[in-house]
């Protein structure tokens, strides 16, 4: 079983529209501990990661940001459920 399924479920819980349904920090630590335990006991498959490019490590230049722009966030629930 892939570990990404567990992270997807955790993200869904953390992004729940109802704040009372979101896990608190203690619950998140427990969930991550359970995932780590499954990884250590080889119950979860971990894909081998390779570095794609060093360009990803470079910071974005500040001139790309417009200081007069207003940045907002939006609820991504539908995006999470589609994945």
pTM: 0.49
pLDDT tens for the 83 residues of the chain, in order = 566 788 889 999 999 999 999 999 999 999 999 888 887 887 766 666 666 555 556 666 666 566 666 667 777 666 666 65
Six token digits for residue 65: 């940001």
Distance of alpha carbon 83 from alpha carbon 81, whole angstroms: 6
Q: Given CA atoms 12, 7, 74, 79 in this order, what sign does their dihedral have?
A: negative
Task: For residue 19, give both structure tokens.
Answer: 């704040």
């Amino acid at each position: 079983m892939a570990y990404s399924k567990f992270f997807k479920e955790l993200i869904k819980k953390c992004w729940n529209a109802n704040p009372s349904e979101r896990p608190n920090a203690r619950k998140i630590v427990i969930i991550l501990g359970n995932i780590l335990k499954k990884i250590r006991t080889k119950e979860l498959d971990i894909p081998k990661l390779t570095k794609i490019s060093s360009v990803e490590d470079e910071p974005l230049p500040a001139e790309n940001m417009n200081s007069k722009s207003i940045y907002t966030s939006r609820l991504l629930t539908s995006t999470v459920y589609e994945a």
